[in-house]
Chain A
Amino acid sequence: MKVKDVAAYVGGTVVCGSEQLEKDVEYAFASDLMSDVLTIQKDNLVLLTGLANVQTIRTAEMSDISCIVFVRNKKVSPDMIKLGKENGIVMIECPYSMFKTSGMLYSSGLKPIY
């Protein structure tokens, strides 16, 4: 699945990385706990999270996560966008709950990690 399709399926707004919407993603992981995200070994991963702070972006950077969907209408700050741009991370703001967003992407074909 392309990153642009992820944004479309969840009715999201791309707030960072709009030049990278053709990137492919295969898996998704939903968590507000960055400690959990840091244990994931898979690549081509979309992170779904309601945790909107700079450490969310740092975690994605270290874990080679190229796309983050912020659920529950969480807003991305200018500091987060700056860091996201430096690291080529696409950020999508989404108005729905973690559960609903996960369901939309699961039924559209993104795979779970386990």
Chain B
Amino acid sequence: MTMHFDYKIEGGDFTRAGYASSQVKRSLKQLNVDPKVIKRVVVALYEAEVNIVAHAYHGNIHVEINTEKINMTLIDEGPGIANIEQAMQMGFSTATPEVREMGFGAGMGLPNIKNNSDEFRIESEVGVGTKLNIVVYINK
């Protein structure tokens, strides 16, 4: 059995940033998933959700949960990332002062997403947007 969840994310709307991750956390708790796995999933997802709010115009989050893994795909329409290798480096950030005031924008998000995931893919096109795929296995 696979459960599907979809969320729309608006760029710049920091009051709602984290809502999708919060809902996913609730579902995983109800499914009695190991709290350590839940934490990895929601930290990665929350970082990615904040990235859409901080950088993109809008985006979609699609989450699939089955007995084996949690598969998250985040697609945004936005400025895209010119140099992914650079963006993956700890400390590199293009965040605005507003984003930094919220406690983010230190250039740690993408590396932290990768650290918390078992599989991590990122594709981006400048002027179009960015696609992230994050997979966390439940029993690994």
Mask for B90-130, Cβ within 8 A of A = 1, else 0? 00000000000011111111001001000000000000000
Please indicate the chain B residues that have their CB under 8 angstroms from the CB of A76 in the complex: none
Whether, in the assembled complex, A21 has its beta carbon less than 8 Å from a beta carbon of chain B, the answer is no
What is the interface residue range for chain B against chain A? 20 to 34
How distant is the Cα of A59 from the Cα of B46 in the complex, in angstroms?
A: 8
Determine chain A's interface SS by DSSP, over half rule: helix
Asked whether A58 and B104 contact (CB < 8 A) given A38-B47, A39-B112, the answer is no
Please report which residues of chain A, range 12-32, place their CB below 8 angstroms from some CB of chain B when the two chains form the complex. Answer: 32
Partner of B108, one of A39, A51, A63: A39
Please report which residues of chain B, range 14-34, place their CB below 8 angstroms from some CB of chain A when the two chains form the complex. Answer: 14-15, 17-18, 21-22, 25
A-B pairs with beta carbons under 8 Å apart, 20 shown:
A35-B105, A35-B107, A35-B112, A38-B108, A39-B108, A39-B112, A51-B103, A53-B102, A55-B17, A55-B18, A55-B50, A55-B103, A58-B17, A61-B18, A61-B42, A62-B18, A62-B42, A62-B43, A63-B43, A64-B35
Asked whether A34 and B22 contact (CB < 8 A) given A54-B15, A64-B35, the answer is no
Please indicate the chain A residues that have their CB under 8 angstroms from the CB of B115 in the complex: 39
Nearest CB on B from A7, distance (A): 23
Nearest CB on A from B139, distance (A): 19
How distant is the Cα of A62 from the Cα of B25 in the complex, in angstroms?
A: 8
Known: A33-B106, A53-B103, A55-B102. 11 other contacts (CB 8 A): A35-B105, A35-B106, A36-B108, A37-B103, A38-B108, A51-B103, A55-B14, A56-B103, A58-B18, A62-B22, A62-B46
Please report which residues of chain A, range 37-93, place their CB below 8 angstroms from some CB of chain B when the two chains form the complex. Answer: 37-39, 41, 51, 53-56, 58-59, 61-64, 79, 87
How distant is the Cα of A64 from the Cα of B46 in the complex, in angstroms?
A: 13
Whether, in the assembled complex, B8 has its beta carbon less than 8 Å from a beta carbon of chain A, the answer is no
How distant is the Cα of A51 from the Cα of B101 in the complex, in angstroms?
A: 8
